[in-house]
Amino acid sequence: MMMGHGGPGRMLNSETQKPKNAVASLARFWHYFQPYWYAVALTVILIVASVVMQVAAPNLIGQAVDCYLVPQAGACWYAAVPPGASIAVRLSGLGGLVGVLVGMFVGGSFLQGLAFYCMNWSGQHALRAIREDTFDQIHRLSLGYYARNEAGNVMSRITSDTDTIQQAIGFALLNVVSGSLQIILTMGVMLRLNVTYALLSLSVVPFMALATFYFSNQARKAFRASRRQMGSVNAGLQESIAGVREVQAFNREDESIEQFRRTNAANRDANVRAASFTSALNPVLEALGYVAIAVVVVVGALSALRGQPLLGGAVISLGTIFAFVQYVQRFNQPIQQIAVLWTNIQSAIAGGERIFGLLDETPELLDCPNAQTLPPITGRVTFEGVAAEYTQGQPVLRGVSFTAEPGQTVAIVGPTGAGKTTIINLIPRFYDVTAGRVLIDGVDVRDVTTASLRSQIGIVLQDSFLFSDTVMSNIRYGRLDATDAEVIAAAKLASADTFIERLPQGYQTVLGERGGGLSQGQRQLIAIARAALANPRILILDEATSSVDTRTERLIQRAFDHLLQGRTSFVIAHRLSTIRNADQVLMVKDGQIVERGTHPELLARQGAYYDLYMSQFRREEEPTSGKMPPLVA
């Protein structure tokens, strides 16, 4: 992407920065959840209550066996039942216990559903704040950032990356939290019932932890690569759509499709790699879970059948075996769930890292701490020994000095790449000088707020951007508080009202993307009307008539006659008609002003401007000599 005519070349964004760790990213996510801490706190309470009910159930199932199916002496859930108790007594106690279990299962499911709602509610509010911060940051970043990063890649931060976060917030995050709590409580209950039996039952946990760590770590790397590749896919897609006319004009459809295939294939490979690690983890953990159940059954059965207690414990009862089988399943199940869902969390963290990386970008241009509001200006612009560069060590401007008095029109001419656009980019402070100063009414533009500076400067570019909105709204963009009458007056001043009134809905006609449906000249006239509505004291015209026909150019020039009156104007043009009567003509070459003066004066010197005139402008003047009225640039 060229920045004007003297900007840096477009560079692909490769995201070579080292990603932040998961803890730091999760801490930053919490910053967005803090305003909704009450919903998060309620979610935690509901999760705890739900998990407690789930963990208590296996012990009650074990008691159902020991108290009512195979009665043994001892205390049951509410009373001691002797081994010789009648069937009626057993059924009565068993019925009460089953009722409690059903109530616990129903209650636990209800609490879990309510927790899911609360988590989603707070998560969606946090996600909205993340999107808003990202969008705000996109508008804060300087133009230099967009010269180095594709629009599609930036867009993917606020679309696909936030989508991965949205998928993790709610079900995945809730199950990871509840599963972790369930593991802790289950382990505690098992150790309380029988320490030796519990330790034997949990002997496979270290192997589960190792498998989880390895596979999830590999999956996280793969998901991070997938997010980068998705950014490249979006960037290529956006560029192909924006340049579809050029692709078709040069018959490059096959090359464009092939390039997209390569990028898409790289994204596919990254996702396949991530899926392979995700899918491999679950069978490994499931196999280890069966090993744990086998240990519980074999050890418990040997103790029960032989009547031998385990080391430091009691003889294992049939009910305890049933309970431990349930506990091992409840212990292994969340481990498997967490391992699988954690990859989703990792993908969200990878997406969050990219978003936070964008949010951490420091704009190259910031208001200084004591920046003042620029008062209404008269429009005197002074360059004092200005130097500028886009890439360190590669100067674009060197020692540029000139003064434009209020109301003057300054024409800037020169070969492509001479630094013309760089000069005008320094006035509204799209970039900063590396040496010298740019003054407006004697005030350095770096000492005032950019908002107060740019609000008094109007810009009409060669390819003015129009939004997919009504003609009325596009013109009103110059001053949002303008009335309809003021918008129409600005359109008449710009000679745009004639063609606007012929549109299907007039000023309420909705334009296509970038003004689709209008000619280049019509888009320019709307852009001029927008600038006229803003009523700036300084006006910048960057080749505003270089892509229109002669008839449209005359309309634009007539609009300029009105628009430039009393304003300090800077004109970059490749057409003689826009610079013939300029108060100053600056001839720029290799980043320096090599000549200055009026059009007749520079022709008389027969220097660099004369050579440019003879090679580029003379052929415009000859056929129209004596026919075209004097025009203000």
**Domain assignment present for 375:** no
pLDDT of 356 > 60? The answer is: yes
Range of the domain at 188: 37-359
Q: For 421-441, what is each residue's pLDDT tens digit?
A: 889 889 988 888 989 999 999
Instruction: For residues 345 and 172, give the distance between their C-alpha atoms in angstroms, rounded to a whole number.
Output: 7
* Residues 123/177, Cβ–Cβ less than 8 Å: no
Per-residue pLDDT, 439:
92
Whether residue 419 is contained in a domain is answered as yes
* Co-location of 241 and 270 in the same domain: yes
0.75 surpassed by pTM: no
Q: Note whether 319 and 221 are same-domain residues.
A: yes
Q: Among 359, 389, 410, which residue terminates a domain?
A: 359
Residue 343 is encoded by which pair of tokens?
Answer: 């990859």
Contacts of 437 (CB under 8 A, 6+ apart): 382, 383, 384, 385, 386, 444, 446
Helix (H, G, I), strand (E, B) or coil at 389: strand
Summary count for the chain: helices (H), strands (E): 22, 10
Asked if residues 544 and 537 have their Cβ atoms less than 8 Å apart, the reply is: no
Query: Does 482 lie in the same domain as 446?
Result: no
Contact between residue 318 and residue 304 where contact means Cβ atoms under 8 Å apart: yes
Task: Judge if 344 and 442 occupy the same domain.
Answer: no
Strand partners, 395: 389
Q: What is the CATH number of the domain that holds 167?
A: 1.20.1560.10
> Which amino acid is present at 472?
M
Question: 3-state DSSP call for residue 472?
Answer: helix
Residue 432 lies in a domain: yes
Check whether residue 144 and residue 198 sit in a common domain: yes
Please tell me the predicted confidence (pLDDT) of residue 253: 73
Q: What is the CATH number of the domain that holds 591?
A: 3.40.50.300
The predicted-structure confidence for 531-582, as pLDDT tens digits, reads as follows: 888 888 888 887 655 555 666 667 666 766 666 677 888 988 666 766 777 8
Model pLDDT for residues 86-109, shown as the tens digit of each residue: 777 677 777 777 888 888 888 888
* pLDDT of amino acid 632: 33
Query: Which one is predicted more confidently, 130 or 275?
Result: 130
Residue 45 has what pLDDT? 92
Is residue 462, in this structure, part of any structural domain at all? no
According to the model, what pLDDT value does residue 387 have? 92
Whether the pLDDT of residue 616 is over 90: the answer is no
Evaluate whether residue 566 is within a structural domain: yes
Burial class (CB in 10 A: 0-12, 13-18, 19+), 580: buried
Residue 573: partners with Cβ closer than 8 Å, 6 or more residues away: 411, 413, 541, 543, 544, 545, 546, 579, 633
Distant-in-sequence, close-in-space partners of 420: CB < 8 Å, separation ≥ 6: 4, 5, 6, 412, 413, 414, 572, 588
Could you report the per-residue pLDDT of 318-347, keeping only the tens digit for each? Answer: 777 878 887 887 777 777 677 667 767 777
Handedness of CA 190, 194, 196, 200 (dihedral sign): negative
**Residue 99 within any structural domain of the chain:** yes
Q: Which two tokens stand for residue 475?
A: 């013109």
Whether 58 and 113 map to the same domain: the answer is: yes
pLDDT 10s digits, 106-137: 888 899 889 888 888 888 888 888 888 888 88
Query: In a 3-state reduction of DSSP, which class is residue 386?
Result: strand
Q: What is the pLDDT of residues 14-48, one digit of tens each?
A: 333 333 566 777 778 888 888 988 988 998 899 89
Q: How confident is the model at residue 386 (pLDDT cuts 50, 70, 90)?
A: very high
Residue 286 has pLDDT above 70, yes or no: yes
Distance (Å, whole) CA 590 – CA 608: 12
Question: Which pLDDT does position 64 carry in this prediction?
Answer: 74
Q: What is the pLDDT, as a whole number, of residue 559?
A: 67
Are both 325 and 412 inside the same structural domain?
Answer: no
Residue 29 belongs to some domain of the structure: no
User: What pLDDT, in 10s, does the model give residues 485-544?
Assistant: 888 888 888 778 888 888 888 888 888 766 667 777 788 888 888 888 888 888 888 765
Q: How far is CA 58 from CA 91, 193, 203, 327, in A?
A: 19, 12, 20, 6
Range 373-407 burial, b when 16+ CB lie within 10 A, else e: ebeebebbbbbbebebbbeeeebbbbebebebeeb
Q: Are residues 47 and 134 in the same domain?
A: yes
Kindly state the percentage of the chain with pLDDT values over 70.
79
Element (H, E) at 207: helix 205-242
Answer whether 134's CB lies under 8 Å from 158's CB: yes
Do residues 488 and 507 touch, judged by C-beta distance below 8 A? yes
Same domain, 288 and 312: yes
Provide DSSP, 281-325: HHHHHHHHHHHHHHHHHHHHHHHHHHT-PPTTSPPPPHHHHHHHH
Overall domain count for the chain: 3
For residue 182, pLDDT beyond 90: no
Check whether 221 has a pLDDT greater than 80: no
Question: What is residue 403's predicted lDDT score, i.e. its pLDDT?
Answer: 92
Q: Do 195 and 296 reside in the same domain of the chain?
A: yes
The sign of the dihedral angle between the CA atoms of 498, 502, 508, 514 is negative
Cα distances from 496 to residues 409, 472, 492, 527, in angstroms, run 23, 12, 6, 10
With contact defined as beta carbons under 8 Å apart, do 511 and 468 qualify?
A: yes
Q: What pLDDT does 383 receive? A: 94
Position 14 scores a pLDDT of 34
- 445 lies in the same domain as 512: no
Compute the average pLDDT of residues 203-216: 79
Instruction: Answer whether residue 389 is part of any domain.
Output: yes
| pLDDT tens digits, 365-383 | 788 888 888 898 888 999 9
Question: 509 and 610: one domain?
Answer: no
Query: Which residue's structure tokens are 């240990």?
Result: 295
